Chain A
């Protein structure tokens, strides 16, 4: 690997459940917003304006500070044709860039393959969470999926250190190639050895990490801190992935959504400060996305699945500002009661892949789409 610690790094944060776009970036001057959102609307006096018409939810205070420093790109009205309102299917589309047919290759899997075609580093891609997100799945591309860094690994149920070392040694021998056992056994073998190799490297990480930044306690805070530990250990990881669950706010949206955004905002800010302290922030781009926005009209308690969403790019390399138009909320401009997207998400992924990671976008996102200039 030629990778040095100044190679561009991408950290993707998935807001799972369908983040309510219009209550994250609020069109606070538009009466249609307040008419449509009698229950969940955020009062004009409370919002944090970022332009004459748009404002952040007050829970995004920490992100607002970064926005003012020019480190946050707000990408409005992101989506894809014929939006799907099923969580799973829609998330799948965002993961695979296949809105028409069901794909099984993830766009980040393809990016990892292009960054490290020989799969020399089993940690080129690292996910924080249980199970591999489809975005990172691609046959032959090893990705470590870490629930908790400190306890990550194979055969973690064995408590004795010596005993576990011996078991892992045996495991690696039992997963080594055996001539003539066929391609599936070979594949399982190399996958097992990759997992072992990744775990071996990662176990050294917690011991190396030191920071004066204290993360506010939340799921997303813990995951981003885990990412910071691996990132600052300079293991050559280029793509990180994690999720913040809970955005499916059909009911009781007000308090729930605010807490989620506050956790997110503080975690991103803590993460940034941590990287800054380690002199590691200038080559890290944080990218936030969700599977869909929510309906323009609230349902009296929360909001139902909609379309047209929000993405954000955050970090030192980002040219801060507002990108793409906030879609019209007027009745006649809606599509089945939802905002119409005005930038294809594949163009935004393409921007990240090409302008940030230096890869050919079209093979990663499956075609040519309009790109933006936020990086």
Chain B
């Protein structure tokens, strides 16, 4: 029997949120570490080994030559899966910021530049929010996405200035009030005039698509006096960011986003001005940590993951998985695609079919989350995807689960088979009623016996089939859609 270690379900919860779930082997290791050390390890992905880029590049020369949106999507999903074991939070935080600073290839049309933005999220997404926003303001994909390359001294374009305030930091409003005025938008835009991209790099010929670069043009910068959120001065973009990060509204907005992504589904972002957070206390703790830590996202997440509200039973399975979580979480469980190979592209497309076209969000507002991920079309895609993948015995991760269960060589009654499978799948849950339904099916597969036995080769094959079916049906359940 698998030893009953009481903190494994909690660690599994942590890994579903801070990563893409954990295999039972990984959970063994994390439980040796203990919860707080596991949190610490997750918060410092840079201390874990990187994937061997040089080996990849030697044997798969073209693997990063993402010449189209599908190639870029594949690389994104490949990396998330490759790091899901060692540096899961690095990928999860990148996915988080991709949803907040939602930039899309539909307009950017430049895959490397777009993937560089995701790299920026990986590298700075856990760091100081002020520095991070500054990097974002200089990110070529973002500049192009929100037209800051058309934001000129003589002809300001407010797109970036507005979204910086509305979607990336302050939010439209909180507690029923407005967080900024139209004049603030205009002046923020003026402060970012001259922040553009290197024109020479826009051309994609003759050497393929070289990534765009940030360029500051002092002659196109509006040097006049600006009044922004009650402050007056000859502000440049950096000054605007300095003022923004000091606002309580920014603390609230970022805290709510973190809570919504890592703890429990909240109402959709456009409703935040008038709807208080689902758990105002938990959000308040994050707001305080935001200021205490000098805007450090890593510190906020440390507080979050170690908080009682995160660890509580109410927080478990309180989120509908995003399509990326379904796809990458499943791949991680399978232990497949250690190297790029055929099939990864089709698998990556699963995200799109389930309603999350990575690198191509519906708009700068990103995706609506929670139950809005689900419609009859996307649910069928989810169910079929997971069912097909997790019951493929050729996958090393599936083989490991089945063998681990059967090697215990004890006669298992149907409910025990289910419980073992739930545990091996990462301490997931099934409602008691659904366990009964599933147990009934297993009983009918047991062929007169009262339990699962795997003595002879023949018995073992039949038992394998039963276990695979059990895993498949758990993967198809409603409960499995929750993280």
Contact = CB atoms under 8 A, between A and B. Distances in A.
Interface of A: 86-89, 92, 102, 104, 122, 127, 130-132, 134, 137, 139, 142-145, 153-158, 166-167, 170-171, 173-175, 178, 181, 183-185, 187-189, 191-192, 194-195, 198-199
7 contacts: A89-B362, A127-B377, A142-B376, A154-B380, A167-B441, A167-B469, A170-B437
A87 B387 CA distance: 33
Nearest to A199: B380
Contacts of B479: 185
A178 B431 contact: yes
B375 A188 contact: no
- Please give me the 10 A-B residue pairs with the lowest Cβ-Cβ distance, nearest first: A145-B377, A132-B377, A88-B106, A157-B388, A188-B478, A195-B376, A173-B437, A86-B107, A130-B353, A102-B363
A303 to B, nearest CB: 15
A190 to B, nearest CB: 9
Contact of B375 (A92, A122, A143, A189): A143
B441 A170 contact: yes
B438 interface: yes
A142 B433 CA distance: 26
B441 A155 contact: no
A81 B376 CA distance: 33
Interface stretch (B3-11, B17-25, B87-95, B366-374): B366-374
B163 interface: no
A132 B378 contact: yes
Given A131-B377, A157-B388, A167-B473, A188 B481 contact: yes
A140 to B, nearest CB: 10
B368 A104 contact: yes
B375 A137 contact: yes
A102 B431 CA distance: 37
A178 B438 CA distance: 15
A131 B384 contact: no
Contacts of A143: 375-377
Given A89-B363, A131-B352, A188-B478, A174 B437 contact: yes
B145 to A, nearest CB: 9
B473 A170 contact: yes
B478 A144 contact: no
Interface string B235-264: 000000000000000000000000000000
A195 B437 contact: no
B3 to A, nearest CB: 29
Contacts of A154: 380, 383-384, 476
B372 A191 contact: no
Nearest to A127: B377
Contact of B372 (A104, A142, A174): A104
Contact of B381 (A102, A130, A158): A130
Nearest to B481: A188
Most buried by B among A144, A170, A185: A170
Contacts of A127: 377
A191 B388 contact: no
Contacts, number: 128
A190 B320 CA distance: 16
A191 B362 contact: no
Interface of B: 104, 106-107, 265, 320, 352-355, 360-363, 365, 368, 370-372, 374-381, 383-384, 387-388, 391, 431, 433-434, 437-438, 440-441, 444, 469, 472-473, 476-479, 481-482
Contacts of B377: 127, 131-132, 143-145, 195
Contacts of B265: 184
Given A89-B106, A167-B473, A173-B437, A191 B379 contact: yes
Contacts of B372: 104, 139
Nearest to A163: B469
B371 A88 contact: no
Given A104-B368, A155-B387, A174-B478, A88 B380 contact: no
Contacts of A192: 379, 383, 478
Nearest to A104: B368
B391 A157 contact: yes
A198 B376 contact: yes
A188 B433 CA distance: 16
Contacts of B472: 155, 158, 167
B376 A191 contact: yes
Given A88-B361, A132-B378, A178-B433, 18 more contacts: A86-B106, A88-B106, A92-B362, A102-B365, A104-B372, A131-B354, A131-B355, A132-B375, A137-B375, A142-B376, A154-B476, A155-B383, A178-B434, A184-B371, A191-B376, A192-B379, A195-B379, A198-B376
Contacts of A153: 380
B346 to A, nearest CB: 11
Nearest to B365: A102
Contacts of A144: 376-377
Contacts of B361: 88
Most buried by A among B363, B365, B384, B431: B363
A191 B375 contact: yes
A91 to B, nearest CB: 9
B314 to A, nearest CB: 11
Contacts of B438: 170, 174
A92 B363 contact: yes
A87 B376 contact: no
Contact of A191 (B106, B354, B374, B441): B374
B379 A87 contact: no
Contacts of A167: 441, 469, 472-473
B101 to A, nearest CB: 16
A131 B363 CA distance: 18
Contacts of B481: 188
Contacts of B477: 174
Contacts of B355: 131-132
Contacts of B360: 88
Nearest to B473: A170
A190 B394 CA distance: 33
Nearest to B363: A102
A187 B371 contact: yes
Contact of A155 (B371, B444, B476): B476
Contacts of A174: 434, 437-438, 473, 476-478
